[in-house]
Amino acid sequence: MPLMQKLWKGLVCAGVLCLIILGTHGNFRTSLLHHTSATSQAQAAAFADANQNACVASLSPQIMRVPGGVIDITFAPGRFDVPEATVLAWVRRAAIAVSTYYGHFPVRHTRVRIVPVEGERGIFHGTTYGEGGGFTRIPVGEHVTTEQLDRDWIMTHEFVHLSFPDMPRQHAWIEEGLATYVEPIARVQARQLKAAGVWSDLVRDMPQGEPQAGDEGLDYTHTWARTYWGGALYCLQADLRIRQLTKNQKGLQDALRAIVAAGGTLDKEDWQLEQALRIGDQATGTHVLEELYAEMKAQPVAVDLPQLWKKLGVTTRGGQLVFDNDAQWAAARLAITGSPQAAPMTVASNREDETAAENQSRP
Ligand SMILES: [Zn+2]
Report percent pLDDT > 70 for the chain: 78
C-alpha dihedral (112, 357, 91, 48), degrees to nearest 10: -30
- Cα of 54 vs centre of ligand 1, distance in Å, is 30
Query: In whole angstroms, what separates CA 272 from the centre of its chain?
Result: 20
- Cα of 183 vs centre of ligand 1, distance in Å, is 10
C-alpha dihedral (306, 308, 311, 312), degrees to nearest 10: -110
- Cα of 157 vs centre of ligand 1, distance in Å, is 6
- Cα of 44 vs centre of ligand 1, distance in Å, is 20
Mean pLDDT of the chain: 84
- Cα of 32 vs centre of ligand 1, distance in Å, is 7
- Cα of 187 vs centre of ligand 1, distance in Å, is 16
| Runs of H (alpha helix) within the chain | 3-9, 38-51, 84-102, 146-151, 154-161, 172-189, 195-205, 224-225, 231-245, 252-261, 273-284, 288-296, 305-312, 330-337
Using alpha carbons, select from 21, 162, 51 the residue that is nearest to residue 101.
162
Spatial distance between the Cα atoms of 119 and 135, rounded to a whole number of angstroms: 25
Domain coordinates of the chain in residue numbers?
Answer: 3-162, 169-337
- Cα of 350 vs centre of ligand 1, distance in Å, is 32
- Cα of 4 vs centre of ligand 1, distance in Å, is 15
Residues 84 and 60 sit within 8 Å (Cβ to Cβ):
yes
**141-181 pLDDT tens trace:** 999 999 999 999 999 999 999 999 999 999 999 999 999 99
Higher pLDDT, 176 or 25: 176
- pLDDT surpassing 80 at residue 348: no
**258-284 pLDDT tens trace:** 999 999 999 999 999 999 999 999 999
pLDDT at residue 345, as a whole number:
55
Section 68-92 average pLDDT: 97
pLDDT at residue 44, as a whole number:
55
- Cα of 134 vs centre of ligand 1, distance in Å, is 13
**97-131 pLDDT tens trace:** 999 999 999 999 999 999 999 999 999 989 999 98
Using alpha carbons, select from 331, 330, 337 the residue that is nearest to residue 188.
337
pLDDT at residue 84, as a whole number:
95
Which residues, at least 6 apart from 261, have a Cβ–Cβ distance to it below 8 Å? Answer: none
